[in-house]
Structure 1
Amino acid sequence: MSKETISFRLDAEKKIALDEMASGIERDRTFVINQAIDAYLEVHSWQLDHIKEGLRQADAGEFARGEEVAAAFAKWRK
């Protein structure tokens, strides 16, 4: 996998916390940043996929009937 260098601005307090975390796990700052980005991308990709699927279902008219919604709410209230 090819790697590229990027730069960005970070609050001083966040940089200190990042460096402390990296030191605590005996890794460098880049490792911690890459782990954080991987976690962010995983969560937000999952979320976007579900939003897109929900929009697809809405566009196709695939809505739950009132009885189905009521049953789902009743199930979770117990």
Structure 2
Amino acid sequence: METVPVSGRIDKKISEKLDALARSTARSRSFLIAEAVKAYVDDQAWQIEAIESGVAAANRGDFASDEKVARTFAKYGVKTDEA
């Protein structure tokens, strides 16, 4: 995996916690920062993809029917008011 240098600033207390974590896990600060950034980026990408998928489904009119929603709610003991 090719890596590139990045630069940023973090709160001093977070830096101290990062150093302590690096010592206790025998990992470098760079490794821990890279792992944290990867986890954050992956999580955000997943959320954005899910939102975009939901918006696309809504734009297509792809919704659950009232009956399906009522059955699902009933399955979990949630009462609904049907007009």
> TM-score, structure 1 length as denominator?
0.88
Question: Percent same amino acid at aligned positions?
Answer: 36
Question: Aligned residue for 1:52?
Answer: 52
Q: CA RMSD in A?
A: 1.5
1:75 Cα deviation after fit: 2.1
TM-score of the superposition, structure 2-length normalised? 0.83
Q: Distance in 1 between matches of 2:74 and 2:37?
A: 39
Which structure would you say has the larger RCO, counting Cα contacts within 8 Å and 6 or more residues apart? 1
Question: Deviation string for 1:7-49 (max 9, x for gaps)?
Answer: 1110000000011111110011000011111211222211111
Structure 1: gaps of 5 or more residues: none
Larger radius of gyration: 2
Query: Structure 2, unaligned stretches of length 5 or more?
Result: 79-83
Deviant stretches of 4+, over 6 Å: none
Q: 1:77 to 1:41 in 2, by over 3 A?
A: farther
Count of paired positions: 78
